[in-house]
């Protein structure tokens, strides 16, 4: 298995296609996913490019995350290795082709919208309490 320049946070363990990962989310249940694309290991995919990696959550949603493939990078601290891909899964994942629903940084937009909605709710609650009290 070849290695990538992307490592799990705080470790020397490279992220590889087919790896099962656990994503610790704030104020929401944790989810599990499978790494689907690592530039330099997978065949080049123009939808994702050479500066992003991707994973697929068990519910079917794809996330694409940016990184610099020329330097050593680490995943978010919220992402950890759950199970290393076996050789068969690794080889199968290397032939990954991005589905049409992958549109680059769509995952970042979703997270920002979620955080914006949460901040609006918090603002409304604080405003109501200040007016009432």
3-state secondary structure of 112: helix
What tens-digit pLDDT sequence spans the chain (133 residues)?
556 788 999 899 999 989 999 999 888 899 999 998 888 888 887 778 788 888 999 988 888 888 876 777 888 899 999 999 887 777 777 667 666 656 554 455 666 777 888 899 999 989 888 887 6
* pTM score of the predicted model: 0.68
d(CA 126, CA 120): 10
Of all helices (H) and strands (E), which one includes residue 21? strand 20-23
pLDDT of the residue at 100:
61
d(CA 105, CA 86): 29
The structure tokens 């530039």 sit at 39
3-state secondary structure of 103: coil
């Amino acid at each position: 298995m070849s290695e990538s320049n992307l490592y799990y946070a705080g470790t020397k363990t490279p992220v590889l296609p087919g790896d099962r990962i656990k994503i610790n989310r704030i104020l929401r249940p944790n989810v599990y996913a499978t790494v689907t694309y690592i530039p330099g290991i997978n065949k080049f995919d123009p939808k994702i490019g050479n500066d992003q990696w991707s994973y697929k959550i068990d519910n079917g949603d794809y996330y694409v995350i940016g990184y610099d493939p020329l330097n050593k990078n680490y995943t978010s601290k919220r992402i950890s290795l759950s199970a290393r891909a076996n050789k068969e899964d690794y080889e199968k994942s290397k032939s990954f082709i991005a589905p049409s629903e992958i549109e680059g940084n769509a995952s970042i937009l979703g997270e920002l919208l979620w955080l914006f909605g949460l901040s609006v709710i918090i603002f409304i609650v604080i405003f109501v309490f200040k007016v009432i009290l």
